[in-house]
Structure 1
Amino acid sequence: RRLVRSGRRLVRSGRQLQPRYSTTACVKFSRMMNRQFANMIVHNYPKGVYSLRRINLMEHLFYPSTEAAQKAEANKKGWLSTMLKGSPKQRLPKTNINFSSLPNMADLTARHFFSLLKGQGEGSVIFVSPNVHTMMYDTSTDFVFGMPQANFCKQSDSISLSITRRGYGQEYHELYVIGKGEDGGLFEVLNYTRTTDLSKPPWYWRPLPCPPLFPQCLPGGNSKACAPSSAVVLDATTICASSVDAGACAFFDTVTREWRQAGSWVLPVHGAAEYIPEFGLWFGLDDAIGNPNHCLRAFDFDSSRQPVVRHSWNYLSRLPDEWLPRQRHLLNMGSGKFCITTSFRNLSRHTSCTPLDGVVNELTVLTGVEVVRDINGFQIIKHKSECYSLEDNRIHCVL
């Protein structure tokens, strides 16, 4: 594989060592460096183009201190209602790069998948097109990497989980992607590790067995598996996936590449949850579809029992009924700080003859929150929020 910069300079890209598993490696105890930027993917409908834009979250969403955030919170009651009545919205950051697929696939919005390669830093974004072509853009170098083709088409709401293993003086990085298919979830892993050893195999995708999430009323292989609704990395060798439709969960062993049934319960969040070592808890968000409440949840979990929700906080006020939540994304900024992205569809101008997919307006709210310890355990501190309402554009996801 080769590395391209603005079509002028070619540099040989890194290749990957075959992973060697360490029994002492445990991803849940690895600490993530504090993030400053987020990667905003914006979809321009008329042009069929996806643009990557970087936003400095520590500057735009967080006050200098917890005390300053608490003082400001007391003075901004009703700010969201005021914004909906016509206050100016935020302008998008400048474009770093544009992504597009073949013209006949431009309308397949739900099949344009983006994810962050956490092992490469906060600015390494991969894009998988509907025809499974894959590329990576590195914001720190302004380079574009050509990557191996994926095995499956990936929906935009596929769940991606990162695992870093340590052994033999090197870190080995893997990105697990759980999507939705006709027979449950499509599952594969991207192995990626930068190395100067060109004799080793390059980065590669590997298909994995689908999660066996079957409804209890139809047990065994004669029933149709349900697509996963949430997943979490339990440790360096275990992934847990669950399905609300199936009412069940299963554990995946990343070494043996085998699934085993876990129980008739589901994770208390939607999408991916992340372990925060300084709190000893997993954090995630509730489902956006059909749910007007906006909750950040912290739960305790191990492989021997059902997850237990320890805390649940409302991070955003409810909007009027014509604003329907569309999607939510949670970014761990480090040091107890999170960026939560909530996107809405406005159906206020719809008539009985207007199809539901004829969305009039879209709104995305980025909210900065901080979780801190207090005498009762933990509390949430709300910092700043920014709102984006765009013509001919929508925020596809925030990484």
Structure 2
Amino acid sequence: MSFRRFVNLITNDCAQNTYALRRIDMSRFFKNENVSSLLGLDPPPVKDCCLPDVMMNFYPPQREDSGIMEFMRVKNKVVATDQKCGACMYDPEMHAVRTLPRFVKPKNWPISIAMGNNLFVLDRAPNGNSTRNFEALVYDAPRPHRQGDWDWHALPSMPPPPCARNGNEDPTWADSCAAVEGGSHIWISATGGDAANAWTYSFDTQRLVWSKPADWTLPFCGIAEYIPELHKLWFGIASRDHGRVFCASDLAVASFSQEDRRPPVLHTVFDDMAGFSKEWRLVTAHAVHLGSGKFCIARFFDRSRPRSEDTPVHYEVKENCVVFAGVEVVSLEGKLHMVKHNSERYMLVDQELQWVL
């Protein structure tokens, strides 16, 4: 698999309500050395760096309650949507933007997963009684007398949580998802109210139907990606219960059968958090596969800072930063090992992290 050189970082300028897309060049994060010679060595210290220049700015509709934008990645392109159902696609290689058909319905903090030319998008906080909380951006191939183009397709909504059948109306939150069985199914884990109300649905991308829920959850937060060359495992960031470290799991052994209940378990946990200062609080983390066993691990942190004399007492002043790390996973003598290469820290001045794609 070829090496993916650039990762997209999108931040929000809260004061002006604009979204800035930057591209992080990951090629400089990896050493040109035999990776086996680096096993067991301490990684280089985190280097403080300046953010690269903005490649593209996005402006949402400037109306009350409509200024939020969402960003997703399909192939090497970035899809941007707003709360008025508007959508566009940015191609960083061409540095060009094209419009897309409108969303069927706005999404709240969506979780998305790309498979081939298709992008599946689900509300992270779907209302069990709502419809059209699940859509797919599909590339319709050219036909006679018709060019190929992108279009949104409404999909069957994720069913209400099992706890809703018992009168529990606590909000649902989709925590993680993964494509399994060669992309024929998408597993989505969600919680409702508390950790005791947790389950996983399977969506059949061919028949467009949902399974009955399993009473277990994926051990990840966010998106887990299948890497067949690394022991046929799924890789991502572990769930909060597992410390949100970089990890791998074998989802193929899990079962939805009520008679043969087999939840997935963590196969390997990598201590990629070692060396981080405890004065910084981890907010969120992302793992992006770059190919050839290499990953970009991006972690967002914040910390409180002293107030100045003119700062109101009730106002908490915070500093934000993001740390990008180049991580490589190799298989030696039947076991997986992690090598942590270079890391860079970028201070986010008057900005908030939004997406790493």
**TM-score of the superposed pair, with normalisation by structure 1:** 0.76
Q: Does 1:90 align with 2:49?
A: yes
The equivalent residue for 1:175 is: 119
Flag structure 2 segments of 5+ consecutive residues without an equivalent. Answer: 256-261
**Inter-partner Cα distance in structure 2 for 1:395 and 1:277:** 31
Q: 1:143 aligns with which of 70, 87, 96?
A: 96
Change (3 A) 1:320 1:329: same
Q: Greater CA deviation, 176-185 or 224-233?
A: 176-185
1:207 Cα deviation (Å)? 2.1
Q: Is the 8 Å Cα contact of residues 249 and 264 (structure 2) preserved in structure 1?
A: yes
2:77 equivalent to 1:131:
no
One-letter identity of the residue aligned with 2:280: W
Counterparts of 1:221 and 1:252 in 2: how far apart (Å)?
Answer: 25
Contact between 2:282 and 2:302, CA under 8 Å: does it hold in 1?
Answer: yes
CA displacement 1:22-46 (0-9 Å, x = unmatched): xxxxxxxxxx542111112132222
Is the 2:12–2:354 contact (alpha carbons within 8 Å) kept by the matching residues of 1?
yes
Report the 3-state secondary structure (helix = DSSP H, G, I; strand = E; otherwise coil) of the residue aligned with 2:31: coil
Q: Which amino acid aligns with 2:187?
A: C
State the secondary structure of the residue aligned to 1:58: helix
- CA spacing shift, 1:65–1:272, aligned 2, 3 Å: same
Give the TM-score normalised by structure 2: 0.84
Whole-angstrom distance in 2 between the partners of 1:188 and 1:37: 27
Contact 1:237-1:253 within 8 A present in 2 as well: yes
1:296 counterpart letter in structure 2: F
Q: Could you report, residue by residue, the CA deviation over 1:347-390 in whole angstroms, capped at 9, with x for unpaired residues?
A: 243799535xx452101000110000123510111011010113
Distance 1:222 1:42 in 2: 36
1:74 aligns with 2:42: yes
1:362 aligns with 2:313: no
Residue of structure 1 equivalent to 2:215: 264
Is it true that 1:299 corresponds to 2:249 in the alignment? Answer: yes
Q: Distance in 2 between matches of 1:104 and 1:278?
A: 48
* Contact residue 43 and residue 340 of structure 2 kept, 8 A: no
CA shift for structure 1 position 337 = 0.4
1:132-281 correspondence to structure 2 within 5 Å: 132-156=85-109, 158-164=110-116, 173-181=117-125, 183-184=127-128, 186-192=133-139, 195=142, 199=146, 202-212=149-159, 214-216=161-163, 218-219=164-165, 226-234=172-180, 235-245=182-192, 246-279=197-230, 280-281=232-233
Displacement after TM superposition at 1:323 (Å) = 2.3
In the superposition, relative to structure 1, how do residues 277 and 197 fare at CA in structure 2: closer, same or farther (>3 Å)?
A: farther
Consecutive unaligned residues of structure 1, counting only runs of 5 or more, are 1-31, 84-88, 165-172
Contact 2:66 2:84 in 1 (8 A): no
Q: Which deviations, in whole Å up to 9, do the C-alpha atoms of 1:252-297 show, x marking residues without a partner?
A: 1112211112411000001111000102000110246xx8944111
Moved more, 308-317 or 182-191: 182-191
Equivalent of residue 62 in structure 1, options 22, 30, 36: 30
- Would the aligned equivalents of 1:362 and 1:390 in 2 still touch at CA under 8 Å? yes
- Quick one: distance in 1 between partners of 2:102 and 2:249? 36
CA deviation string 1:171-210 (max 9, x = no partner): xx21001223451592111112565865167321122223
- What SS class does the counterpart of residue 307 from structure 1 fall into? coil
**What does residue 397 of structure 1 align with?**
355
In the TM superposition, residue 48 of structure 1 has moved relative to its aligned partner by 1.9
Segment of structure 1 superposing worse, 126-135 or 181-190: 181-190
Judge conservation of contact 1:294–1:318 (CA < 8 Å) in 2: no
Q: CA deviation at 1:152?
A: 2.5
Asked whether 1:48 is paired with 2:7, we answer no
CA 1:243–1:214 in 2, change beyond 3 Å: closer, same or farther?
A: same
Equivalent AA in structure 2 for residue 232 of structure 1 = A
Q: Equivalents in 2 of 1:258, 1:75: separation in Å? A: 46
Equivalent residue, structure 2, for 1:103: 62
Amino acid aligned to 1:161: I
The alpha carbon displacement at 1:163 in A equals: 1.6
Report the secondary structure of 1:354's partner residue. coil
Q: How many angstroms apart in 2 are the aligned matches of 1:366 and 1:226?
A: 31
Q: CA deviation at 1:215?
A: 4.4
Give the corresponding residue for 1:16: none
SS at match of 2:27: helix
Q: Could you tell me which of 283, 290, 295 is aligned with 1:338? A: 295
CA distance in 2, matches of 1:345, 1:210: 35
- The number of residue pairs the alignment matches comes to 338
Q: CA offset at residue 90 of structure 1?
A: 1.2
Q: Distance in 2 between matches of 1:282 and 1:101?
A: 35
Give the % identical residues: 28
> Hey, what's the Cα distance between the residues in 1 that align with 2:43 and 2:149?
54
RMSD (Å) for aligned C-alpha atoms = 3.0
**8 Å Cα contact 2:281/2:301 also seen in 1:** yes
In the alignment, residue 298 of structure 1 is paired with which amino acid? A
Q: Distance in 2 between matches of 1:330 and 1:272?
A: 8
